[in-house]
Amino acid sequence: MINWLKETGEERDIIVSSRVRLARNLDSCFFPGRMETTTAVKVYQNISEALEHKTFQSFRLKDIPEIERNMLVEKHIISPALTLTPELSGFAMNQNESQSVLINEEDHIRIQTLTSGLSLREAWDQADELDDRLESKLNYAFDEKVGYLTACPTNLGTGLRASVMIHLPALEMTKEINKVFMTISQFGLAVRGVYGEGTKALGSLYQISNQSTLGDGEEIIIKKIENLSRQIASKERETRKRLIERNTVLLEDKIFRAYGILKHARSITADEAVRLMSLIKLGVGLELITDCTMNEIDRLYVDIQPASIQYLQRQEMDNMERDVKRAELLRNSF
């Protein structure tokens, strides 16, 4: 099981995970967008050697089948952008999949740490330790005035992108979600989809992260996201309580209808399954459903995605075959 889904972190009923990502570049060559293949291979080798450690293993993306690449995206180990240039890029990850280093994505190095629940400080400590280890062996592109140099200006400075994955079904049901998004933007934070910028929310799951990395220090960025995430989690709990008090039967009906479909369906799309599982997750949080755990539901979110389904079966499938296999997996799980 993915480490960040196995543990129980703070605010775990609402906040699934915390992520810290650091963008870094080497000072000796062009950024990845202008690199030639021979240079990219050399950069990959240099970073892999600097990472050499018993807990990390490195991979060239071109050596990994497409289904496995997409499965790694679904597990949040690599980014969708990394898969766009398989001949140039690669990655390294530790044994429990809580840390990965993306090589030659938008920047030469993207250090990423994932932890359970609201645990940004823990994620930051782990990412910072790995960053120090790499910087002791590699020469980073750095400017005294603007900090770490990056391909995109929004990552200049600290190069830090901190985010939480948060589940907000009650705020969606009551149409209060847009007010929350407006509040988030006023604090200089952004709301993104499940797989980051340019992706959509799935099953009432959203990413909340900082928009800018220049100006504020790491501690300020993390504290701002932590404080606002706690407020949003509290607002979601209050809204859930209000929903169950005002119309218990209607909410229970929604949740247990979803449970019935997932337990008995013979064919189901990923979108429908994720939408229904969001209701199951809400039911677990409200203690209406007691025969499965939050961790099990969150793991299923990953396992039922298109690439993960095919990876588990070790075969390529068309849409119908995936829908049938997904329904079978869900029936067995429930």
- Report the alpha-carbon distance of residue 294 to residue 282 in Å, rounded: 9
Fold of 3-235: Creatine Kinase; Chain A, domain 2 (3.30.590)
Terminal C-alpha separation, the chain: 18
Q: What is the pLDDT of residue 197?
A: 61
pLDDT, position 81: 93
Q: What is the pLDDT of residue 200?
A: 67
**Strand ranges for the chain from DSSP E:** 15-24, 56-60, 90-94, 99-103, 109-116, 142-143, 147-148, 160-167, 189-192, 205-210
Which of 3, 30, 32, 1 lies closest to 17, judged by CA?
Answer: 3
| 305: phi then psi, degrees, rounded to nearest 5 | -70, 155
* pLDDT value, residue 55: 83
**Predicted TM-score (pTM) above 0.85:** yes
Report the C-alpha gap between 289 and 237 in whole angstroms: 17
The position carrying tokens 């823990």 is: 122
Q: Which amino acid is at 261?
A: I
Residues of the chain with CATH 3.30.590.10: 3-235
**Dist. CA 210–CA 207, nearest whole Å:** 10
Assess contact for 146 and 156: CB atoms under 8 A: yes
Kindly give the parts of the chain with pLDDT less than 50.
Answer: none
Give the span between the Cα atoms of 197 and 149, in whole angstroms: 20
